[in-house]
Structure 1
Amino acid sequence: MLTARMKPAATPVPAGRTPDSLRLIIAGAAVLLIVLVLDLAPCVALTGYFGLGPLILAAACPPLTTATIGAVTVVVAVVSGFWDHRFGEASHVAAIVLVLIQSAIAVYICVYRERQRSKLHRVQAVAEVAQRALLPDVPSRLDGAGFAARYLSAAQEASVGGDLYEVVCTAQSIRVIIGDVRGKGLPAVRLASVVLGAFREAAVTWLDPEQVAAACARAVGREAGPEDFVTALVMDIHPDGRLGMCSAGHHPPRLVSPEGARTLELLSPSPPFGLAERFTTTTDRWDIGDRLLLFTDGLIEARDQHGAFFALDDRLDLLRGGGQEEALERLTAALSAHAGGELHDDLAVLLAERLPVAVPPDTAPAARVALG
């Protein structure tokens, strides 16, 4: 059974008033009130300034509300001629025309803003579909391992970028890739799709992880520009606990066990895809209950307000206990708190946990005899 494995950072603008909208509404109402009070004073004529209120409110209110406020403002501007004794004079008529123009401009601003918001919502919907196509949900459990993933975009107006991950089950092992495309925007998305397409095909074609990595590198070489490259980590997870890793300029994973946490050192890391096509496999092991964290730059390069990086190795305890989804929630919450809720780089994280290998019922007696 597949379950949701990623939570995009960008979501459609929620209904209701945001704090910024409320502040604009309060400011617009305050301007209207202040101008009206000043205009009531003797020898003061501020009728032409009444239109400032609708102009400010146009940034927060819907068109119909702004039009209603603008109409009321025009009526007040007309009536103001009685208490400042200028009704019908040229200056009073000119002030009324000015308020009418300001109110009309405010309504136009509202309509334009709503159209842009609607367009943004459509773009966000398309980006959401693109994200699901590029990074489908990873399997929550395969034979011998469980997985959970998160993707967080640094851009609030987009939910997809150049970071990538994938999990493919083969006859010999579970194959995993995580990577980070240099650059941002649509070119990075396109190159990420090239890597994922090559990985999905090579993962079920080649026996060794270095061959899979080489196939991905060749695909990047065919499609990338002269300054483009992709850092990536290709990993084989075997049922008996063996791990095979090929690094293409990527960060080594972290292993969290009941006894502690450590970095899985990569003995012969190679340059990124697009700069190299030959790779070496580093082997290691993990035990049942251990967890592996694979991640991209956005995790360890997130800075706080003082410029300090997120200390991942000091936060690995957050990955212990509870389910994998809960563990990732704790980690991403700590990251968000460190960065003040604003990421400056896309982030992909993949958390794997070694599980007991299921023994088919018809082979269980034979297995017990062999063990006995």
Structure 2
Amino acid sequence: MPVLVVLAVALVVSVDLAGGAGMIWLPLLAAGPALAATTSGPRGVLCVGSLAVALGVALGVRDGAPGRELTAVLSALVAVTLASVLASALRGRRERVLAAVRSVAETAQHALLKPVPSTVGPFQAAVRYSAAAAEARIGGDLYALIPTPHGVRLIVGDVRGKGLPAVGTAALVLGVFREAAHDEADLLAVVDRIERSLARNLGRDDFVTAVVAGYPRAGHLEVVNCGHQPPLLVRASGGITAVEPTHPAPPLGLRALTGHTPGLQTLPFDDGDQLLLYTDGVTEARDGGRAFYPLAEGLRRHVSPEPARTVGALHDELLAHVGGRLHDDAALLLIRKPAPHPAEAQAPRASDSGPAGSTPVREARCSA
């Protein structure tokens, strides 16, 4: 924009000097301070306006402009300059307020959606998250991946709605999950705790879809799906399958309306296997032709032994698919079980297993 300001003023001066058109082009000098108001501070706008007035005087005298007409043009330049100074001051104030709001929102996001380390227990992990309310940098999707005495546990969910109104519900779910994940040995009990809390605090039409997973002992992954998108399981051999729930359950917060309770699904999860959890902002993203983003195909193209590289490529491809701006919150969380180093293979790490004396993983239903 500073270049455009200089070009606008220079163009007017050049045309006047080349054509000798008198007063015809002088009013266009007002474009200088008007453009400067969009990027410069009040002092910069005042400088550009003063330059425009000085050039107007010089060109008017050179062209022999009548005094009354020249005075009118110069008065207009002064008025435009003063208005532009005021606009610049107001723009700067709004930018400072927006910067403060973004800072608060970013702090809230870091408190709510804590950064996921690259290694959690026996897993490599990576997360990418984009809020539809890009100015706020926070939305209604939620995720967490934490080590507990009962093994690594994780959640990915989607609150009904988007933007700041959904943040309170997301905070409630994550707070209950982090507490219950440490306290409850049974993954279904963790889900029950979240359900009871939401039943007390949500409105009648509000709900949260979520997938809660746990790794209680080596080689076994537990999954509870509450009305959410099925995770994608990537085997070390290269096969990709959707983990459809064997016991479909309603979203969290709606159990009392249906009477259905979620079931615990167990999966083998060996070295080299990966699990991708995501929200519907990814799979329901459309391009200009209204075609949905093909997540499974994208994962097949970009899967690698490095979760951060995989989710980064998926996120970039997703943004390219929608033309650079998402219309819904979107979250991707990928975990991978790497093969242990030879020295570690001799003595399994404590984080690969649950507490001492744990019982085999079971299929079960929780009570409402």
TM bin (shorter chain): 0.7 to 0.9
Amino acid at match of 2:58: V
* Structure-2 change in CA distance of 1:43 and 1:319 (3 Å): closer
Amino acid at match of 1:186: L
Amino acid at match of 1:66: V
Q: Distance in 1 between matches of 2:82 and 2:233?
A: 62
Counterpart position of 2:50: 71
- CA offset digits 1:164-185 (Å, max 9, x no partner): 1112322232211110111123
TM-score by length of 2: 0.84
How many positions carry a matched residue from both structures?
Answer: 341
Whether the aligned pair in 2 keeps the contact of 1:36 and 1:50 (CA below 8 Å) is no
Spell out the pairing of 1:1-372 with structure 2 (5 A cutoff).
21=1, 25-26=3-4, 29-30=7-8, 33-34=11-12, 37-38=15-16, 41-42=20-21, 44-89=23-68, 91-259=69-237, 260-276=239-255, 278-356=261-339, 358=344
Q: Distance in 2 between matches of 1:53 and 1:190?
A: 47
Q: Distance in 2 between matches of 1:104 and 1:362?
A: 74
- CA offset digits 1:237-267 (Å, max 9, x no partner): 2322222211111011101123211111211
How far did 1:43 drift? 5.9
Whether the aligned pair in 2 keeps the contact of 1:232 and 1:272 (CA below 8 Å) is yes
Secondary structure, in 3 states, of the residue corresponding to 1:238?
strand
* Structure-2 change in CA distance of 1:183 and 1:31 (3 Å): farther
How far did 1:362 drift? 11
Amino acid at match of 1:140: S
Q: Distance in 1 between matches of 2:28 and 2:304?
A: 62
- CA offset digits 1:182-222 (Å, max 9, x no partner): 11232211110000011111112223222211211222222
Secondary structure, in 3 states, of the residue corresponding to 2:255?
coil
Secondary structure, in 3 states, of the residue corresponding to 1:315?
helix
* Structure-2 change in CA distance of 1:179 and 1:362 (3 Å): closer
Whether the aligned pair in 1 keeps the contact of 2:23 and 2:60 (CA below 8 Å) is no
* Structure-2 change in CA distance of 1:192 and 1:157 (3 Å): same
How far did 1:353 drift? 1.0
Secondary structure, in 3 states, of the residue corresponding to 1:207?
coil
Whether the aligned pair in 2 keeps the contact of 1:291 and 1:354 (CA below 8 Å) is yes
Whether the aligned pair in 2 keeps the contact of 1:318 and 1:330 (CA below 8 Å) is no
Whether the aligned pair in 2 keeps the contact of 1:264 and 1:284 (CA below 8 Å) is no
Counterpart position of 1:15: none
* Structure-2 change in CA distance of 1:297 and 1:244 (3 Å): same
Whether the aligned pair in 2 keeps the contact of 1:144 and 1:356 (CA below 8 Å) is no
Please list every run of 5 or more consecutive structure 2 residues that lacks an aligned counterpart in the other structure: 351-368
Deviates more, 1:135-144 or 1:97-106: 135-144
Aligned CA RMSD, in angstroms, stands at 2.5
Whether the aligned pair in 2 keeps the contact of 1:318 and 1:327 (CA below 8 Å) is no
Q: Percent identity?
A: 37
Q: Distance in 2 between matches of 1:363 and 1:178?
A: 26
Whether the aligned pair in 1 keeps the contact of 2:9 and 2:52 (CA below 8 Å) is no
Please list every run of 5 or more consecutive structure 1 residues that lacks an aligned counterpart in the other structure: 1-20, 365-372
Secondary structure, in 3 states, of the residue corresponding to 1:330?
helix
Secondary structure, in 3 states, of the residue corresponding to 2:165?
helix
Q: Distance in 2 between matches of 1:289 and 1:263?
A: 17
TM-score by length of 1: 0.83
